[in-house]
Structure 1
Amino acid sequence: MNNSNNGNLSFDSDVGGPMRKSNSNISLASSAYIGGWVVLDILGKEFRASKISLARDPTSYLARIVDEDVDPDQLFTDSGGLISFNPDSSNGRWQLDANPDYFEYILKYLRIGKINGVKPGHSWEDLLDEAELLKLSKLADICRQKIHEKNVMQQRVFILKNIFSLIF
């Protein structure tokens, strides 16, 4: 840690996150960073994600988490309480009111830029809901396209079944 001239402590950017004053929630939020990684608590399930991955969709709430000027209280307000910072947990951590089963897809998308499919029992509609909540616009667009493709396929199957039922 570095001591600044005014007596406030700040974190070195390569150790604890961006430079922040230690006398506010902003500095505590930087303690959730482990090197280039961020610890996220999604309804009790812990995830670690790289800052680079979280910043991939710059208009999303996840990108704001790793913004060096993030104000945790403002992010909490802007997200409607969806995202909060808990300074009382060990090292502090970001908490998100999101579905952990779908958050795995979100992290994969942020890492590699695509989604290959969803597991049985999961739906594109539910992933779309999570993407919209987190303001992941590009992922939401992909989900809408997949939902459209699924609906078109279901319509074709329905038509073919009706044609076959008339023939046989």
Structure 2
Amino acid sequence: MAETTKNANENCACGTASTSKQISTQNSEENGRRNEWIKLNVGGTVFMTTRTTLSKDPNSFLFRLIQDEPDLNTDKDENGAYLIDRDATYFGPVLNYLRHGKLVYNKDLAEEGILEEAEFYNITILIKLIKEKIRERDAKQNQTYNLRKVSCRSTSGSNDNLWWQ
């Protein structure tokens, strides 16, 4: 009977060790996944993203921010989100660009605002892309509004301007 108890205890101990090892591995994986997710509090709006997304441009502010030993001195809010004193409205397109490599934004947003954020975060490819978009937009507007002005002096002595395309 004592031997049976011993075997049962041995099995139990093995099962416990195995279970402990599984739980430890599981916790490690969960911590890894948890560490993969990063919270950013940008101007009071919390964004959730991954370390992989923020690492897309190794010269960027965001890459430097998430390093194990960051060279940036930044605070975190009460929920552990990195505090960034910038406009959240313009940060969304920047973050989405890092996520999928495409510049997608609401038409109501000024491209200059997105450019300002891209420059602040030092995302070089996005800076080039948005500058090109601004150049294209401006060229299109100049083409559309390529008006000529002729000033004429009327017989009453006032200056009148004539505009034509």
- TM surpasses 0.5: yes
- Could you tell which deviates more after superposition, 61-70 or 38-47? 61-70
The 5 A counterparts of 1:12-161 are: 14-16=29-31, 34-70=34-70, 74-76=71-73, 84-86=74-76, 89-90=78-79, 92-116=80-104, 118-159=105-146
Check whether the contact 2:60–2:121 (CA below 8 A) recurs between aligned residues. yes
Q: Structure 1 length as normaliser, TM-score? A: 0.66
Following superposition, the deviation at residue 66 of structure 1 comes to: 2.4
Question: Which residue type is aligned with residue 133 of structure 1?
Answer: F
Q: Structure 2 length as normaliser, TM-score? A: 0.67
Q: Deviations for 1:116-154, whole angstroms, at most 9, x for unmatched residues?
A: 4x3233111110001111111111111100000011001
Check whether the contact 2:46–2:81 (CA below 8 A) recurs between aligned residues. no
Q: State the Cα RMSD in Å.
A: 2.4
- Following TM superposition, where does structure 1 have runs of at least 4 consecutive aligned residues deviating by more than 4 angstroms? 12-17
Check whether the contact 1:14–1:35 (CA below 8 A) recurs between aligned residues. no
Q: Larger Cα Rg: Structure 1 or Structure 2?
A: 2
SS in 2 for 1:75: coil
Larger RCO: 1 or 2 (CA < 8 Å, sep 6+): 1
- Could you tell which deviates more after superposition, 93-102 or 61-70? 61-70
Question: Which residue type is aligned with residue 133 of structure 2?
Answer: K
Question: Which residue type is aligned with residue 85 of structure 1?
Answer: D
Equivalent pairs counted in the alignment come to 126
Check whether the contact 1:57–1:63 (CA below 8 A) recurs between aligned residues. yes
Distance in 2, Cα, partners of 1:38 & 1:60: 16
Change (3 A) 1:166 1:102: closer
Change (3 A) 1:47 1:153: same
